[in-house]
């Protein structure tokens, strides 16, 4: 199990601000949080070293890159054995259409978020990239009409003390 890191209100405020805009300068972060820029830098560095901050990423619009249709593919692999998991996941991650791969419990083994050009491209991907694989027993496709990002990920609030 992952080790919890103790985060104080300043750390939480920094994380909230960085999740909303990872390009915010240390000077601007420090001003918004109410600490010196050097303190801000030290705290962010500590959060990186502790593995709380995993990295920064650039978000692109799939539609503007010619991949305007997104779908979720539920994939069942048979037999579902350890020696197949690694190679299967690496194969799926190598597909340029793949956005995210989840290994699941339940009737489906994987959920794969893909972005493709159109329905013909999605059909090609499902047939050539998934169902042609000998270990793939079933693929179920769900189109994504719209998606929304949610608020910043912060640790759960401490339970309220009971009298």
The pLDDT tens digits for 3-51 are 678 899 999 999 999 998 899 999 999 999 999 999 999 999 999 999 9
Can you read off the two tokens belonging to residue 3? 């080790």
**More confident position, 151 or 28:** 28
Q: How confident is the model at residue 1 (pLDDT cuts 50, 70, 90)?
A: very low
Break the chain into its structural domains and give their ranges.
9-50, 62-144
> What percentage of the chain carries pLDDT values higher than 70?
94
Pairing outcome for strands 136-144 and 98-103: unpaired
According to the model, what pLDDT value does residue 57 have? 82
- Cβ-based burial of 23 (10 A; exposed 0-12, middle 13-18, buried ≥19): exposed
pLDDT band at 160 (very low <50, low <70, confident <90, very high): low
Quote the percentage of the chain above a pLDDT of 90.
75
Are 102 and 110 in contact by the 8 Å Cβ rule? The answer is yes
Q: What is the pLDDT of residues 127-142, one digit of tens each?
A: 999 999 999 999 999 9
> Mean pLDDT, to the nearest integer, of 50-67?
92
**In the chain, which ranges are continuous DSSP H helix?**
9-20, 26-33, 37-49, 82-94, 119-124
At residue 112, φ and ψ (nearest 5 deg) are -120, 120
pLDDT of 155: 80
More confident residue, 83 or 93: 93
- What is the CATH topology of the domain spanning 9-50? Arc Repressor Mutant, subunit A (1.10.10)
pLDDT band of 159, cuts 50, 70, 90: low
Give the burial string for 97-119 (b: 16+ CB within 10 Å, else e). bbeebeeeeeebbbbbbbbbbee
Q: What value does the mean pLDDT take over residues 67-95?
A: 94
Per-residue model confidence (pLDDT) at position 162 = 62
Q: Tell which CATH classification among 3.40.718.10, 3.30.70.920, 3.20.20.450, 3.30.450.40 matches the domain 62-144.
A: 3.30.70.920
Q: What is the pLDDT of residue 156?
A: 80
CA-nearest of 155, 112, 150 to 2 is 155
Give the integer Cα–Cα distance in Å for 91 and 101.
11
Fold match, 9-50 / 62-144: no
């Amino acid at each position: 199990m992952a080790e919890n890191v103790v985060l104080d209100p300043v750390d939480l405020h920094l994380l909230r601000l960085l999740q909303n805009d990872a390009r915010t300068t240390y000077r601007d972060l420090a001003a918004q949080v109410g600490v010196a820029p050097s303190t801000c830098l030290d705290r962010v560095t500590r959060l990186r070293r502790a593995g709380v901050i995993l990295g920064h990423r650039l978000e692109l619009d799939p539609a503007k890159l010619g991949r305007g249709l997104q779908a979720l593919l539920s994939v069942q692999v048979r037999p579902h054995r350890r020696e197949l998991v690694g190679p299967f996941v690496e194969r799926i991650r190598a597909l340029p259409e793949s956005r995210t791969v989840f290994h699941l419990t339940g009737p489906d083994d994987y959920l794969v978020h893909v972005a493709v050009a159109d329905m013909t491209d999605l059909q090609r991907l499902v047939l050539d990239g998934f169902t042609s694989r000998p270990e793939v027993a079933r693929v179920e496709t769900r189109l994504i009409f719209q998606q929304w990002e949610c608020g910043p990920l912060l640790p759960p609030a401490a339970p309220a003390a009971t009298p």
